[in-house]
A and B are shown apart, each in its own frame.
Chain A
């Protein structure tokens, strides 16, 4: 896709590299080949350089083996999505080669392991092929019989040579990565790497050279979306959580289980989803903000308890890493089909807050925001991410942790009197008193899922149910008044506004950039606050003729998806229409532009 990477030029060969501003490299092999770690190295390298980086990977849902890919997009400008088509395909096996050629741009470069791959006649014309005996050269370099081990590091060396990457930085990364595993492991890795890096052939030596970036991005951290959520929760001051393993949420519980003890906290693996949400709520009642999370069916199981937290007004953060549904669905694929359950899942009127993170950096800060909203408004907050964000690695500016980190130790200062459900607060929000706190008038509260009076005692009085329902709802209204009005990306008015959330946002922004070049400009709007919606959207919508809500979920019986449905209910505006898909794959930029153009054609008839 990047016209800047031009391999047709003869200058691309030999010692005269062609200057490029970005490259998309797709590495295809089997899951045991360690191709994820090549991607990880490249992402970290970019994080220490002037390059932006975004990656994507697929993992097979089987336990071991099976095809696996890692795509990394390195660029000197802003990188908004993992990219549509790769410039370079590095293929380890015949199936990797055959299955992924279609993801390579025309004229792209295929570097293949000639020990395993027989190039196809019809593709030799279309793509540039470079065959290297990666497997046997790796064995030659590191010895031994483990043919599959070390290939990834050898390939990293090759990529380093092709793209003229910083040798010193790469070697330091390898040292850090394998440092803990002992001298002999480091030596083997370094032998494989250097052998790849020194592979001599005019074909690949110094093929490309990244242009110097304009912005200094060297102070970046590199992590996956799931890691960013985990560390964001820790920074926010969360010290207790509970969960049950399910893909792709499990990474977060594993991280919190390992990390929280360092902070005096703990994350408990429970017997099921219901126990885990309940334990998290119990700890919130105890004075911390408890966190739980899940994916797919696990979220369905938690809904009754979440309803209790709404009714009892107890803070809670629920992380939902969306995957394809319903039921067991597609555990390792991406979908944005949990918006409805996040906003409405549960019986009765149960207003709760829903936030959606759009990229890895956003995961970190949205996790903190989720905790703070939960605390301030004593309400469950859903943090929506998805499989695509969860597993991809990005580099982002290092947060100022000294100022970002919060201490949420419970306050047990005695109070004179206390009403857990005070009806006369300014925003409707009231905070329960932490057990252990002395109340001098001797009247102690009960937090409850029964409708109740201001002290928490059960009541089915019609007036009270009205008043308490209003209280729980008005908190969200008060929150929406505080939310920033979202900014339109691209022209501030025009014909088409595309609206998106979550991982769809990156490709949407890139579609805006691309559309500007072909005279059919579009603008984009990202919604981070899904429930309640921020104020000011009607003014933004009024400036455009068409509003397309682009989502990875089903357009339903009436042709609009879950966010579109929410917006239609809110604004009753028939201009709001859905552009949806359910192939359980991330949106490509080209797909979005094609679908908009299709709409234009239909509507112009």
Chain B
């Protein structure tokens, strides 16, 4: 419904607006524990906004429930802190009704793959335009160490004292299978890579999904050491010859054992829900060219007499 919102662009001030500063985009001090991976992601988000020279009012930050979902409070921009697991549905409502905004959704692994798993799959298949960053820490942090849908088998939590029993979700595989048009993987320990990926994701016309490993130093310390060169691990990029439009190759990449590869696994262009709905509306409106809304309704009522 791209044309449905008749937005009057506010007239620019006489003086040119200065680009935002980091201070201006920063809001409340984060409530995260010291050393939490989420800090890096927030810092990169600020950087992205500054780099892209976006003003406060053009960014909308949406989140569900979880440690990471506190995100909107820390950004000086319009934001919504919604209910657990449903951030994507809320963000879809914003995206579909307000094509002039860029919508970012942030959340954790519980939000995305457990309580909100259904919405993840359907937002992906519908290709609703937004950028979704899942700050994956393999554990429930806010509720203090229960097994999460991405916890590896054997992870000892308060709900699995003997070690997690269930096969974890593979977010990359899930996204590819659901029909996401942009699927990428990065980690908080490599801010440069994270910024690069977020930058590309923002330009992707469709549902851009990023899994960003984000260590919970309190409840799953060292979870991602194997992916961190400073901890003796390996940070390996997606091979240069990987074809991002090859679904089977992307799936294969997603199947590698931890730490796997980092980068864009899959990216294709296919019409967004936003564009398709706008097309339906344009076609329907064409028949009523020049008519006011009440006249359109009147023509319907005339047939009901």
Contact = CB atoms under 8 A, between A and B. Distances in A.
B90 A282 contact: yes
B248 interface: no
Contacts of A170: none
B293 A278 contact: no
Interface in B271-304: 273, 277, 280-281, 283-285, 287-288, 293-294, 296-298, 300-301, 303-304
A279 B80 contact: no
Given A287-B5, A439-B56, A412 B10 contact: yes
A437 to B, nearest CB: 6
A281 B119 contact: no
B44 interface: no
B60 interface: yes
Interface in B246-286: 273, 277, 280-281, 283-285
Contact of A240 (B72, B79, B93): B93
Interface stretch (A80-88, A99-107, A397-405, A590-598): A397-405
Contacts of B298: 401-402
A448 B80 contact: yes
A449 interface: yes
Given A398-B301, A409-B6, A280 B81 contact: no
B293 A263 contact: yes
Given A231-B300, A437-B57, A438-B56, A264 B1 contact: yes
Interface string A192-221: 000000000000000000000000000011
Contacts of B60: 435-436
Interface stretch (B97-105, B133-141, B209-217, B223-231): B97-105
Contact of B82 (A404, A413, A449): A449
A270 B301 contact: no
A446 interface: yes
A444 B83 contact: no
A443 interface: yes
Nearest to B11: A414
A318 to B, nearest CB: 14
A176 B300 CA distance: 13
B238 interface: no
Given A271-B119, A285-B94, A444-B27, A223 B304 contact: yes
B5 A410 contact: yes
Given A275-B122, A305-B83, A458 B73 contact: yes
B1 A457 contact: no
B50 to A, nearest CB: 14
A291 to B, nearest CB: 11
Interface of B: 1, 3-8, 10, 24, 27-28, 55-58, 60, 62, 72-73, 76-83, 86, 89-98, 100-101, 118-119, 121-122, 273, 277, 280-281, 283-285, 287-288, 293-294, 296-298, 300-301, 303-305
11 contacts: A47-B304, A221-B301, A235-B297, A240-B96, A265-B1, A276-B89, A286-B94, A287-B98, A405-B297, A445-B78, A448-B80
